[in-house]
Structure 1
Amino acid sequence: MPDRDKNTLHININTGGVFEESPIRSYILRYFKGISQPRVLLLIAFIFLFVFFYGKNEESIGKNDIGKIETIQESDILTKIIPTEGDGECTAILLNWNRLDNIKIIVKNLCQHSMFKEIFIWNNNVDLHLSDTMFVDTHCNKIRYYNSPGNMYFIARYLACSMAATKYCYFQDDDWMIKHLRSMYSNFLRFPNLIHTDTNADVYSSTNWKWCFFDDDIDLHSCYSWVGTGAFTSRENVLKFLKMTSKTEMSSLEFIYGDMYFTTYLNQVPYQLENSLIELPQENGFSLTGKDRMLNKLYMHKALIRLYNYLSLLKSKNNNNPSTQMIEDTKEFSPTLYERDVRSPCHNDKCLFLTNKHSFPNVKLFKYKPYINISESERLHSSFFNTQHFISYPYSHAVDNDNSTAWISQDVIRKDDYIGLDLLLPMPVPLTFNLIIDHKSDYFNHLSIQISHDGSAWIQLSPSPKLDISSLSSTKNNLLSCKFRIRETGFRFLKLVSTRDWNFTFSIYDFAFDGVDNEVIDDTVNNILGNNDNDSGD
């Protein structure tokens, strides 16, 4: 009897795992042994047809999921693109006194940002000599430092900026971690003639209301803003300030308190952004006691008086020589305080929240009088308008990625009021936006969705994107989620404009656009294609 094993027909069909996982595998194997060659040929034909039609079905599934994969790939791009405009055009200025550990933490944070060509550390502590070995663990090759022969206090940061090789400077103190540098810098590059500062809601309510001083008769339009929690400025503005210290004959003691004079002396309202701040250890700091705070207000008041007298003198000279060219232009730069709409950086530093809704009364309601000191001015403003609502529901809560917080406007929504986002750079891919609000659903039926490349010329999308509106039942409020996709590319700005008046306020709990990490993308693609292997791999 012939040896059956020697005459067995061996068939090796690579089905890419389809055959092994098929529910008919056991039936095929059951009849495979000992069958005749003609039947084997029929079996081969059967398997071929099965694989062919299974593959067609799998191909069909793949086509249905192409849209999902494209969306994931677009989100992947978003995680990798960052603004590059202005790279290497800014010098970060840090002052060191007695918190070197904080300085090292800040240096690590700043060094990763490409806008900084150099990190200049001015050491005011004569008992400490900065050296390269102190910063080895920062792994930063942008550091330059200057060991001052004496404590120059705050004016040191402006002297350091005047020595910078770049046209822009960035200031911050050594007791804060500033997270939203890219977004603040992106807006600064749009308006580099205006100082840009970053602060929390509490201080913002002072720097945009209580510490604003206007008098149209002499072109006084100044708001004081602290630069220690993050500020971008042009080197040109710093040089202008240093010249003003000479023109106004500041005393040497006033000079070293330069922070109390800088934003005031430039006589332009700083472009201020509001968001949460991260505190670093505050020990050995400056201006921590009540006495120190009163001293700060004293110098703030002195700065205003000197500016007021200087502008009054200019006005008098210009009035006495009407036929000659104006001695110095003192007009307010555009965008003026009430032309601005950029409010807060998004939580991930990928965008800026926009709205035309202001949160405080018109600052011109109070005309500046030199005989009213800062504390009295604060009291007058507080008695006229309570800022607590804004402090509880600030702009930043609209883009903080937290559905338990909200920006709630003080005033109801009017026709042409809007909310929006600055995406920091023209978007190369279509985007999906998600807006979470506590509004009536009818609000979405009266929206004009507009996009812009430069924030000035706007295009209304027509037809308007399809809005996917759903209720978030898991929240304590009856929040609505609205998702929509904009397929146009190349735009940087988006705004949603109300086309009618409403009897309710803006209540924005979150406003964002999608982005996914690579690991998430890979897992999601594998799930779509069915390529996940659940084996342990041992």
Structure 2
Amino acid sequence: MNRNTNGNGLPLHSAGGGGRRQDFGSMLSHARRMSPGRLFILIGLCVISLLALTRFSTNSSHAIASVEHSEHEAKNEAERELLVKQLVETRKSAYSFDDFTEEGLVLEENAHLLPATAILLGWKRLEGLKLVVKYLARYPYIKEIIVWNNNKDNKLTKDDFEFDPSFGPLPELQVYNGKENLHDFAKYMSCSLAKYQHCYFQDDDWLNTHMDALYTNFLTSPSLIHTNTLPLIHMEHRRWTFTNEDIKLHAGFAWMGCGSFIPREKAQRLLEQGGNSNLAKDRLRVIDMYFSIWTNQYPYQLVNYLTPLDQKNGWSTDGVNDHWAIVFRNMLDAAGRLYSALTANAEVSEKDYFPRDEELPSIKDRHTRSPCYNDKCLFKTSMDPYPEPKEVTFNNDLQTIDEQNAKFYALDYPSNEFINKFTYIHAVDNDPLTCWNSFKNPQAGDSFGLHLVKATPVKKFMVTSSKSLTHLEGMFTVMVSDRKGEVWTTCRHSTRFPYPHTMSLDITCPSLQNLPKGTVENIKIQFDKNIETSLEVCSMDLGGMVL
């Protein structure tokens, strides 16, 4: 894959947010909610950072992302700006602002809803920052926005931002102006002090046009990291996992800046981990590369094509010559330190800041793959082209990341070309000329389907492929469930083939608990028998919603 940069930016350089002007000292005054131990570690790390950090930043997802997206979508700057303008003007959340009021959140039917604090970092791309802040304010679950401005030469205030109150109540906004550039460290410090128990990370050089889809999947397992990424970046992340079942090591790497939900307590723990591990000053500068690995969990990732904003003033143009060497060196350092900590301490103790238990669902049970283009649903399938992380054991013996890559490539690993052509998102990208392919032949029990952001009546389900689908007749069952997807119910269905490559289903489903008759939130086609060829899906139509 082409690793040339193009002035791509860093989460450190994202910025923005409204509220009164505050400096570093005033921000620490908000730390009263933290325990004394956590506060001591936080202050210590902040002082170290303020004394030591220099203009340095790293987030390599932007380097690859810009190149890949340019081939898929944006042909020039004018087209990019037009696309962004259209998306900003048309995107609207399916969630209700009323449900996220103090009165609404205590209702039993809203018990699963979780308000979040958005964390934005700023440096030089102020226009992108302002757009992201304005955009996030229209999503009711973003109840607070904290902006840390890393640019000491350009102070920000609430007056620097504009909002559209027509969507609903505005989130609580605060802006902090740092005396020094704290880089990504400020991201986790800000999250640790957030009002709400979950944070949303967003860089200022990307627009997450699938906020509802990401949030909906986050609600299914809110203890995990949930991120957005590009197909080829996801492909790399599936190799950049570090697993050793003997010591309960099950970690994975992920970039946070393209839209991520995380638990606040994981950010607080990172500050403790950094202090307990005696990270050197240069490691603190790139703490983003440690975060997901040090949670000792595999991040939950959605695959889609991202929408870029202004990509200038990025870390690749900030005096950094070999950014990928920095990425890989710190990634391996994070994995090595985690391995050593788990090996040294067989059991969790008060002085051990690395969790042992793997959080559910496990990788093999995570079937949500991509947001639908319209942000009203998510594509789900049990069919995963990648080997499970446990098939490669990490023994802290790697000199380069290429050695890790080689171990996965020795398995039945898909090629770059295959992922480019048949990635998950192509099943729901509103383009019938692109298709998802299962890579492996479906087996009995395998499935594919949709998770709907909001409950929807379903009577018809149409699947279109580039290949004939007639051989599937009598080979599957249609099943539905409510939001949790824990209990699936079988529907009656009749199958028609208006064309060989088009399968149309008339569906009659029983009533589901707490949902109006005929309404579902999850629907899937589950195979009863093994299929002799791989499955290809180019588009779906669910009761008139064309995907």
So what's the TM-score if we normalise by structure 1? 0.74
Q: Which residue of 1 aligns with 2:61?
A: none
Higher relative contact order (CA 8 A, sep 6+): 2
- For 2:407 and 2:427, the matched residues in 1 are separated by 30
CA contact (8 A) 1:87 1:116 kept: no
Distance change >3 Å, CA 105–CA 505, structure 1 → 2: same
- For 1:328 and 1:252, the matched residues in 2 are separated by 21
Among 78, 83, 91, which residue is 2:117 paired with?
91
CA contact (8 A) 2:452 2:522 kept: yes
Opposite residue 303 of structure 2, the aligned amino acid is E
Distance change >3 Å, CA 262–CA 509, structure 1 → 2: same
1:23-49 deviation per Cα after TM superposition (whole angstroms, max 9, x unaligned): xxxxxxxxxxxxxxxxxxxxxxxxxxx
Distance change >3 Å, CA 375–CA 172, structure 1 → 2: farther
Among 482, 486, 489, which residue is 2:504 paired with?
482
Opposite residue 146 of structure 2, the aligned amino acid is F
Distance change >3 Å, CA 481–CA 230, structure 1 → 2: same
1:270 aligns with 2:296: no
1:215-258 deviation per Cα after TM superposition (whole angstroms, max 9, x unaligned): 11111101100101111011122112222222222223212311
Distance change >3 Å, CA 269–CA 480, structure 1 → 2: same
- For 1:397 and 1:152, the matched residues in 2 are separated by 39
Among 104, 125, 136, which residue is 2:162 paired with?
136
1:198 aligns with 2:225: no
- For 1:117 and 1:328, the matched residues in 2 are separated by 30
Distance change >3 Å, CA 327–CA 296, structure 1 → 2: closer
CA contact (8 A) 2:496 2:504 kept: yes
Among 394, 404, 423, which residue is 1:377 paired with?
404
- For 2:249 and 2:94, the matched residues in 1 are separated by 42
Opposite residue 90 of structure 1, the aligned amino acid is A
- For 1:170 and 1:352, the matched residues in 2 are separated by 19
Distance change >3 Å, CA 339–CA 214, structure 1 → 2: same
- For 2:231 and 2:545, the matched residues in 1 are separated by 30
Q: Which residue of 1 aligns with 2:489?
A: 459
- Structure number with greater Rg is 1
1:350 aligns with 2:373: no
Question: How far is 1:468 from its partner?
Answer: 3.7
Question: How far is 1:512 from its partner?
Answer: 3.7
Q: Which residue of 1 aligns with 2:196?
A: 166
Describe how 1:180-219 pairs up with structure 2 within 5 A.
Answer: 180-208=210-238, 210-219=239-248
Question: How far is 1:465 from its partner?
Answer: 2.3
- For 1:404 and 1:502, the matched residues in 2 are separated by 23
Question: How far is 1:141 from its partner?
Answer: 4.1
1:397 aligns with 2:426: yes
CA contact (8 A) 2:272 2:353 kept: no
1:381-410 deviation per Cα after TM superposition (whole angstroms, max 9, x unaligned): 345434321232111111111100000011
Q: Which residue of 2 aligns with 1:292?
A: 323
Q: Which residue of 2 aligns with 1:248?
A: 277
Residue segments in structure 2 that go unaligned for 5+ positions in a row: 1-91, 100-109, 510-516
Report which stretch shifted further, 83-92 or 343-352.
83-92
- For 1:133 and 1:308, the matched residues in 2 are separated by 47
Distance change >3 Å, CA 431–CA 247, structure 1 → 2: farther
Question: How far is 1:134 from its partner?
Answer: 1.6
Distance change >3 Å, CA 432–CA 82, structure 1 → 2: farther
- For 1:470 and 1:255, the matched residues in 2 are separated by 60
Q: Which residue of 1 aligns with 2:252?
A: 223
- For 1:413 and 1:489, the matched residues in 2 are separated by 28
Question: How far is 1:336 from its partner?
Answer: 0.7
- Superposed CA RMSD in Å reads 2.6
Q: Which residue of 1 aligns with 2:537?
A: 508
Among 339, 347, 366, which residue is 1:308 paired with?
339
Quote the sequence identity (%): 29
Among 179, 185, 193, which residue is 1:155 paired with?
185
Distance change >3 Å, CA 287–CA 359, structure 1 → 2: farther
Opposite residue 311 of structure 1, the aligned amino acid is L
CA contact (8 A) 1:198 1:275 kept: yes
1:443 aligns with 2:472: yes
> Aligned pair count?
423
Residue segments in structure 1 that go unaligned for 5+ positions in a row: 1-78, 472-477, 518-538
Opposite residue 298 of structure 1, the aligned amino acid is R
CA contact (8 A) 1:205 1:391 kept: no
Q: Which residue of 2 aligns with 1:25?
A: none
SS at match of 1:411: coil
CA contact (8 A) 1:414 1:498 kept: yes
Q: Which residue of 2 aligns with 1:26?
A: none
- For 1:327 and 1:256, the matched residues in 2 are separated by 20
Distance change >3 Å, CA 424–CA 128, structure 1 → 2: same
SS at match of 2:531: coil
Question: How far is 1:352 from its partner?
Answer: 0.9
CA contact (8 A) 2:469 2:503 kept: no
Opposite residue 155 of structure 2, the aligned amino acid is H
- For 1:269 and 1:233, the matched residues in 2 are separated by 13
1:145-190 deviation per Cα after TM superposition (whole angstroms, max 9, x unaligned): 1101111111111111111111110002111111111111111111
- For 1:104 and 1:94, the matched residues in 2 are separated by 10
